[in-house]
Amino acid sequence: MDIINDTIKQQIFFRKELRERVYWFIKLRWVAAVIGLAGLAAARLMGLTLPLGPLVGIVLFIIGYNIIFLLVGRRLLSTRPTEVRPYHIFAHVQISLDIISLFLMIMFTGGLASPLLIFVIFHIVLAGMLLSPVSCFGYTFMVLLALGALLLINPQGLLHLETIRIGSHFFFHQLQHHELIISYLIFAMALVVAAYLITSVKVTLRAKGRELLHISKQLDISNTKLLALYEMIKEIGTKTRLQELMDSATHSAARIMGVKACSIKLLDKDKKYLEFASSYGLSQEFVAIDRIEVDKSTINRQIIEGSLYSIGNLDEEDYFQYPNDVRKEGVVSMLCLPLRVGHKTLGVFCVYSGESNYFSARDADFFSLMTDLIALAMEELSQSTAKTWFLNKTAHQLRSPVSAVMSMLYLLTKGYLGSLTVQQQETVARCEKRLSILRDTINDLLKLASENDESRRQPFHPVNAAATLQAMIPIYLNQAEQKGLIFEVRVAAELPQVLGLERLLDEIFTNLISNAIKYTAAGGRVLVSLSRESTEKIVFKVEDTGIGIPESDLNRLFAEFFRAENARSMVEEGTGLGLAIVKEVLDQMNGTIEVTSQIGRGTTVICLIPTRYQHVIS
């Protein structure tokens, strides 16, 4: 199939070149005819004794068949034949008639001594450009035979070999026979050399053209595969469950590689057995076979050790632990690689084809890239899941004892357990402050774990973002006034609803507004706005004139537990989880966040939140 496609592409490429040249040849012939008639008229005016009648007839003959060529060319242009052959025939007919016409004009203008003889080389060059080398040399020897015939009949006096030379005056001269032979041999040598050079150059250029077509084809294939791989990685990046990720990966890999089946087999904890974790295109009976013992499977053992394994034809039984089951699936060739991240091997990733020797070296290289990306996505998701579990478990374990300690401190501060000295009261107050920070951290950890936990997410519904924000304004307006800040809120009218949850919007608004108030000194200004960017997005913006964020810290703002140095210096309280929660919430809602800041001048945070209309369009 590849050979056929290459042939078709080459035919299209060279047919275009041939078509352009033959049409250019028609246009050039009009110019030659006009010049020929003008030259004959000038000869007549100068009184030169040329056979004007036959020469004018030849020029009119050229004009006549050029009109026919023009009509045929238009016909070819309208029908656009898929083969090159009609254009080849068209070129042959044009060159043949032109050579005949030129030969007749040479006969009537001095034969081998004619000044028109040099134009024969022009037609040989055209034949070399448009036609095959054999055709070019064929025309070369036909011309030499015709001129040789002129040379033979010249001694018989059948032709009057007179020509025009250019000197101080126009005059006729007569060449001797031996001079004609020498001229013929020199001209023949020049003609053969010209044919050889033009055909050699053309063959080289054609080879380069085929090479360029091949490279272009490979680039097209690579570009298509890379775009498909990009879409695949984007899709699996949205998966929050490992099984969903693997199912998406096997389906996409089979489609991109153009194969009938694909599978992911994962190693158990002891690294002794492989089990099918996900498959596409394989029967349930095959996937449901017993787990594969690595030591008994030559192929899987070598793959796990780090080797790429490609089989062009599965005809040896010792390849597999269950060879008959493989044959029932119609698998003829396969390509497998280990799913590996660093020195850690997760399992085996395979694609299966029903054609023998289906996979090339390029396929292996591309599949290696795909395997590495899928392994990274699997490992990242596994680590994220483990981290979520750890955060959730740790936060729950800490919450009860912290609450108990804070209750005891409350009893002390209220004097229920006896009066405290001033120094004891100060110590208890410091303990309460520290425990309050720890409690906020625990609550933020639980929020972050909850947002990361897919199983606890609720279905989205249309939410009035403007109403959610306006309900919170009195709280933050009071905080801003107590701190001596100018607090402004601007909410556009008739904003479209967003698709999400009220509590998610509350997390976004709360964290960003409280940060702006917290890190803006007295006399500063905080501006909160909610507006429409388009029917598909609304913009939530918080601007302040606070302490700002160092440029070197901007790329770490959404990392968990990160706080800039100037923020820690200004406010001791803070968990460093607020912006991480905002980013997680916006990711869930397919929104984006952008932060710009200057030290000492303030910070601007812009959130683009998709409306329900965008989700409908999607």
**Would you list the DSSP string of 267-336?**
E-TTSSEEEEEEEESS-HHHHTSPPEEGGG-HHHHHHHTT--EEES----GGG-SSHHHHHHTT--EEEE
CATH no. for residue 320? 3.30.450.40
**pLDDT top residue among 323 and 431:** 431
Question: Is there a domain that residue 577 lies in?
Answer: yes
Residue 221 lies in a domain: no
Using CA atoms, how far residue 359 sits from 255, 290, 305, 336, in Å, is 14, 28, 21, 11
pLDDT in tens, 473-514: 888 898 899 899 999 999 998 899 998 888 889 889 988 998
Question: Two tokens at 131?
Answer: 């036609």
pLDDT given at position 435 = 75
Question: Is position 437 within any domain?
Answer: yes
Q: What is the percent of the chain where pLDDT is above 90?
A: 12
Cβ(308)–Cβ(336) below 8 Å: yes
Q: What's CA 163's distance to the chain center, in Å?
A: 66
Asked if 259 and 341 sit in the same domain, the reply is yes
Domain match, 510 and 565 both: yes
Give the Å distances, CA to CA, from 135 to 69, 129, 139, 148: 20, 10, 6, 20
CA dihedral (354, 360, 361, 363) positive or negative: negative
Cα(584)–Cα(440) distance, integer angstroms:
18
Domain end among 457, 480, 510: 457
The pLDDT value given to residue 553: 84
**Separation between Cα atoms, residue 18 and residue 16, nearest integer Å:** 5
Say how far apart CA 602 and CA 530 lie, in whole Å: 19
Which of 81-90, 91-100, 410-419: highest mean pLDDT?
A: 91-100
Specify the higher pLDDT residue, 604 or 22. 604
Position 231 in a domain: no
Q: Give the residue numbers spanning the domain of 271.
A: 238-457
Q: Which of 594, 613, 616 is nearest to 605 (CA)?
A: 594
- Is the pLDDT at 516 greater than 80, yes or no? yes
Q: What's the order of all strands across the beta sheet hosting 261-267?
A: 292-293, 273-280, 261-267, 344-353, 333-341, 309-311
pLDDT band at 157 (very low <50, low <70, confident <90, very high): very low
Confidence of residue 615 (pLDDT cuts 50, 70, 90): very low
Fill in the amino acid letter for 503: R
**pLDDT, position 609:** 92
Is 455's pLDDT higher than 50? no
Tell me whether strands 273-280 and 292-293 are parallel, antiparallel or unpaired. antiparallel
CA distance 340 to 371: 8
18 has pLDDT over 90: no
- Residues 27, 16 share a domain: yes
User: Is residue 565 in some structural domain?
Assistant: yes
Average pLDDT over residues 349-365: 86
In this structure, the answer to whether residues 510 and 447 fall within a common structural domain is no
Residues 247 and 389 in one domain: yes
Q: Of 402, 437, 457, at which residue does a domain stop?
A: 457
pLDDT digits (tens, 9 = 90+) for 103-114: 888 888 777 667
pTM above 0.85, yes or no: no
**What pLDDT was estimated at residue 399?**
64
Instruction: Of 108-117, 385-394, 597-606, give the range with the top mean pLDDT.
Output: 597-606
Sequence length of the chain is 618
Average pLDDT of the chain is 79
Among 81-90, 139-148, 209-218, 402-411, top mean pLDDT goes to 139-148
In a domain, 385, yes or no: yes
Q: Which of 518, 564, 562 lies closest to 544 in space, CA to CA?
A: 518
450 and 332 inside one domain: yes
Question: Is there a domain that residue 286 lies in?
Answer: yes
Question: What CATH number is given to the structural domain containing 463?
Answer: 3.30.565.10
Q: Angle CA(328)–CA(332)–CA(333) in degrees, nearest 5? A: 135
For range 239-268, the mean pLDDT: 87
Instruction: Say yes or no: 168 and 253 in one domain.
Output: no
Same domain, 388 and 476: no
- Hey, is 171 helix, strand or coil? strand
Same domain, 164 and 278: no
pLDDT band of residue 531 (cuts 50, 70, 90) is very high
When pLDDT is averaged across residues 272-293 and rounded to a whole number, the result is 83
**According to the model, what pLDDT value does residue 457 have?**
54
Lowest pLDDT segment from 113-127, 263-277, 488-502: 113-127
Please, are residues 544 and 524 in contact by the beta-carbon 8 Å criterion?
A: yes
Q: Does residue 599 lie within any of the structural domains?
A: yes
Q: 26-63 b/e with 16+ CB inside 10 Å = b?
A: beebeebbeebbeebeebeeeeeebeeeebeebbeebb
**At which of 155, 186, 216 does a domain end?**
216
Do 274 and 394 share a domain, yes or no?
yes
For residues 396 and 465, membership in a common domain is answered with no
Give percent of the chain with pLDDT exceeding 70: 79
Per-residue confidence (pLDDT) for residue 594, from 0 to 100: 92
The DSSP secondary-structure symbol of 611 reads: B
Answer yes or no: are the C-beta atoms of 511 and 579 closer than 8 Å: yes
Q: Specify which residues 542 forms β-bridges with.
A: 528, 605
pLDDT (0 to 100) of residue 603? 93
> 246: which 2 tokens?
């693997």
Looking at the structure of the chain, the number of domains it has is 3
Q: What is the pLDDT of residue 219?
A: 79
Q: Examine the domain organization and report whether 344 and 417 are in the same domain.
A: yes
Residue 449: its pLDDT value, please? 60
